[in-house]
């Protein structure tokens, strides 16, 4: 089923929100999220909560101020699903003072780091998504360590260091339902275009033999999960 058009109000909130999701990629993100939340995955346990009469879940790793989250939330609203979005809200390395993507307006004097949780709360309020998007505030590996709900999709857009990207893959890819999708942002095959770790986990996902690429939009990659055991660790990193 085709996704309903995103409302002008939500697009306005998306455009007004700080972050790192261009509109072309955002539109594909919205469509894919809708497709998988509204039945892209097989039923039964592998399909996630829906079998128990509960809403299908999509997971985002890396919320920042909620720019991409608005689009995921809109898709979930249209499909009767929920989004869990994971972030400690203290920024990645490249967001801290002195780094390339630093935004001085976001510095929290108390911690000396940036802080984006308040912005996210405003974004969700403005978009009317408080009951659809559930922020999970904490580090991605800590959150993954207590997670066990199958997801129709997992969207990885968190830290771009090697350690962070591989931890996101290891922590969350196991929870993609069979028939669900793993989405990875900032995948740059040419090192001249951007950092390696998101590309590395994209290659690592393909190398498991459990995922097939089904869509590409700029640096966004969509991999459908065809096999594997839900919740089982991903194969270790190759040499």
Distance in angstroms (rounded) separating the CA atoms of residues 125 and 19? 17
Residue 214 gets which letter from DSSP? E
Residue 122 catalytic?
no
Q: Which is nearer to ligand SAH, 42 or 115 (CB)?
A: 115
Distance in angstroms (rounded) separating the CA atoms of residues 24 and 13? 16
Indicate whether 123 belongs to the interface with ligand SAH (CB under 6 A). no
Distance in angstroms (rounded) separating the CA atoms of residues 128 and 77? 10
Cβ neighbours around 96 below 10 Å, total: 15
Give the interface with Mg ion as residue ranges (CB under 5 A): 20, 157, 185-186
Distance in angstroms (rounded) separating the CA atoms of residues 40 and 227? 14
Give DSSP secondary structure letters for 174-213: GGEEEEEEEEESS--SSGGGS-SHHHHHHHHHHHTTSEEE
> Are 231 and 175 a contacting pair, CB within 8 Å?
yes
Q: How far is the CB of 86 from ligand SAH (least distance, A)?
A: 6
Distance in angstroms (rounded) separating the CA atoms of residues 33 and 38? 8
Task: Name which of Mg ion, ligand SAH, none residue 186 binds, using a CB cut-off of 5 to 8 Å depending on partner kind.
Answer: Mg ion
Annotated catalytic residue: which of 88, 89, 95, 160? Answer: 160
Residue 161 gets which letter from DSSP? S
Q: How far is the CB of 229 from ligand SAH (least distance, A)?
A: 25
Query: Which residues sit opposite 83 in a β-bridge?
Result: 58, 133
Indicate whether 62 belongs to the interface with ligand SAH (CB under 6 A). yes
Indicate whether 64 belongs to the interface with ligand SAH (CB under 6 A). yes
Indicate whether 90 belongs to the interface with ligand SAH (CB under 6 A). yes
Indicate whether 87 belongs to the interface with ligand SAH (CB under 6 A). yes
Of the residues 7, 96, 139, 217, which one makes contact with ligand SAH according to CB under 6 A: 139
Task: Name which of Mg ion, ligand SAH, none residue 153 binds, using a CB cut-off of 5 to 8 Å depending on partner kind.
Answer: none
Indicate whether 58 belongs to the interface with ligand SAH (CB under 6 A). no
Q: How far is the CB of 69 from Mg ion (least distance, A)?
A: 12
- Contact positions vs ligand SAH (CB under 6 A): 19-21, 62-64, 67-68, 86-92, 116, 139-140, 157-159, 164
Residues designated as active site: 160
């Amino acid at each position: 089923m085709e996704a309903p058009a995103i409302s002008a109000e939500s697009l306005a909130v998306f455009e007004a929100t700080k972050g790192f999701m261009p509109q072309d990629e955002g539109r594909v993100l919205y469509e894919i999220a809708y497709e998988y939340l509204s039945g892209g995955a097989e039923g039964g346990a592998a399909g996630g909560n829906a079998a128990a009469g509960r809403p299908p879940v999509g997971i985002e790793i890396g919320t920042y101020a909620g720019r991409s989250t608005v689009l995921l939330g809109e898709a979930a609203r249209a499909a009767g699903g929920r989004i869990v979005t994971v972030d400690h809200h203290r920024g990645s390395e490249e967001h801290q003072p002195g780094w390339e993507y630093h935004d001085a307006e976001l510095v929290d004097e108390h911690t000396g780091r940036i802080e984006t949780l308040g912005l996210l709360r405003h974004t969700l309020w403005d978009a009317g998504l408080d009951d659809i998007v559930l922020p999970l505030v904490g580090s991605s590996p800590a959150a993954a360590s207590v997670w066990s709900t199958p997801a129709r999709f997992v969207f990885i857009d968190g830290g771009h260091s090697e350690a962070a990207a591989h931890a996101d893959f290891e922590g969350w890819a196991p929870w993609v339902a069979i028939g669900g999708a793993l989405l990875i942002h900032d995948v740059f095959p040419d090192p001249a275009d951007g950092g390696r770790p998101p590309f590395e986990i994209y290659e690592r996902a393909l190398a498991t033999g459990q995922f097939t690429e089904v869509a590409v939009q700029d640096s966004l990659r969509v991999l459908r999960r065809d096999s594997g055991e839900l919740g089982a660790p991903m194969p270790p990193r190759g040499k």
